[in-house]
Amino acid sequence: DAHENATRMAASAYAILVAVVLLGPGNFVLYKMMFSSFGDRAAFFVSNAVNFVYVVLGAAALLVAQKASTLSERLQHALLPDFRAREFAIMGLLDGFGTFLTALGAVHTPGPVQTLLNQALLPCTMAASFAFLGRSFGMLQLSGSTLILLGAAAAISPAFQDPSEETVSAATENRWTSNLIYASSNIPIAISAVYKEWAFNNKRVNVFYLTQCVSIWQLFLGFLMGPLQLLPALHQSAMQEDRAGWAEQLLGLASDFGFGLRCSVDSDAPSTSSHQRCGFWPAGFLVLAYCIVNFVFNALGLLLVKKASATLMSISNALILPLTSFAFSFHFLGAYQEPVNAFTVLGLATTLLGFGMYEYGLHRQRERILSMDEGADLLRVAIDAKQKGASLSLDFDEIEGQWVMDADGRKSFLPDAFHERVVGVHHSITGVIPLDRAQAPAEDVR
């Protein structure tokens, strides 16, 4: 019965929405707790540890996908010949550099500020889409992205004040250099998203296969970025300032990596300096907890993007951002609790207004596409499919990508990927509108 199918689909969509909204704040709070527990001395170790755990989780997901679908056969006979290592290596390099910068800035960037700086990925990706793909955006989308940047600027403004007037959290000191390093990580991540669209346009690849290949390269190339910590503009650890000469500093990086490894299993790990001690509990638990929550959060967020309505996506975006910003102030976080100041509230309000304008601009763009003959036909098929209650099960064969259409009515197929920073924006972040896979003409479906 069509009505029963539609009811079941709506119930499933709302269940996924609730799960995503609840996991979202936990995902970002765990991220900040993880880096605060290790401290700036072991930030590079944490970045690589996350990459390693993600490779393990990706391998497990691929094994499940191979047993639950025909993915294994397609990997052997269809996917591998179409993709060269270079594409995955470039994405791994860009993503690795982005997470490298994020790690260096995470310890001394307050959690609520991180939440707002993450949203700057949207205007950065828009700029990269315009520069490399020639994407065009409407005035509402441009105005909305500008407000998002202003919101991020308002959030980091306390870091530029005199330390005596600055509210310092129990978990970390707020440094303007760390804020800027963290914010700059959006640039390589945005370029990576745009490169993925260019390199994999109209190619099919399972999201777990894509994630695994990129994660392996990210782990390898990310480890090689260690010496970049010695650049004056990037080093954040006080111990690096006490080391004279490049040789001593390079040896010091190895010592810092070992310190992070000890912190993973022992909260009372000894340190050769008073500059840094481990957190209150074995910090390795936080690495594992964050990676698992983040992996599930991404998978559910991706499923919500693919199957839910635009209204539900707007609701999830509107809820996750403020909930995450205020989640850091919960008392049960103890030493990791961070207050929300007036600048954060101002930045949050400005960012939400910017997202509202951006989403409304997407709605206007969708209406414009509906005025085109082909666009109208495709979107009506998608709407009909949703109303009839298409399956909302987590089918590994279906998690490959979506048909999208840009502002000029050009249709293409883009692969899915994990976007943990701006949940719900997905492919629309690069100036295209996601369309349901049911709308693809018969000749386009393999």
User: What confidence tens digit (pLDDT) does each residue in 384-407 have?
Assistant: 444 444 433 333 344 444 545 555
Helix axes 2-38, 111-118, angle to 10 degrees: 130
What pLDDT is stored for residue 99 in this prediction?
92
User: What confidence tens digit (pLDDT) does each residue in 193-205 have?
Assistant: 888 878 876 666 6
pLDDT at 437 over 50: no
Read off the DSSP letter of residue 145.
H
Dihedral of alpha carbons 217, 219, 223, 228, sign: positive
- Identify the band that residue 182 occupies on the pLDDT scale cut at 50, 70 and 90: very high
DSSP 339-387: ---HHHHHHHHHHHHHHHHHHHHHHHHHHHHHTSHHHHHHHHHHHHHHH
Q: Tell me the chain's radius of gyration from C-alpha atoms.
A: 22
Residue 135 tokens read as: 């994407």
What pLDDT is stored for residue 261 in this prediction?
87
Q: 350 and 147 in contact (C-beta within 8 Å)?
A: yes
Question: Strands 432-435 and 401-406: what pairing?
Answer: antiparallel
Mean pLDDT of 256-274: 69
Question: CA-CA distance, 274 to 323, in Å (whole number)?
Answer: 36
What pLDDT is stored for residue 404 in this prediction?
53
User: What confidence tens digit (pLDDT) does each residue in 105-129 have?
Assistant: 999 999 999 999 999 998 998 899 8
More confident residue, 171 or 241: 241
User: What confidence tens digit (pLDDT) does each residue in 80-90 have?
Assistant: 445 567 888 99
- Identify the band that residue 46 occupies on the pLDDT scale cut at 50, 70 and 90: very high
What pLDDT is stored for residue 440 in this prediction?
37
What pLDDT is stored for residue 167 in this prediction?
46
pLDDT at 12 over 50: yes
Block residue for tokens 């390898």: 220
65-69, 213-217, 218-222: least confident range: 65-69
N residues, the chain: 446
Look over the chain and give the mean of its residue pLDDT values, rounded to a whole number.
75
Question: CA-CA distance, 292 to 290, in Å (whole number)?
Answer: 6
Q: Cα angle vertex 429, ends 427, 432, to 5°? A: 55
More confident residue, 269 or 217: 217
Among 184-188, 195-199, 419-423, 426-430, the range with the most confident prediction by mean pLDDT is 184-188
pLDDT at 352 over 50: yes
Question: Strands 411-415 and 401-406: what pairing?
Answer: antiparallel
User: CB-based burial of residue 228 (10 Å sphere; 0-12 exposed, 13-18 middle, 19+ buried)?
Assistant: middle
User: Which residue in 107, 255, 254 sits closest to 173, CA to CA?
Assistant: 107
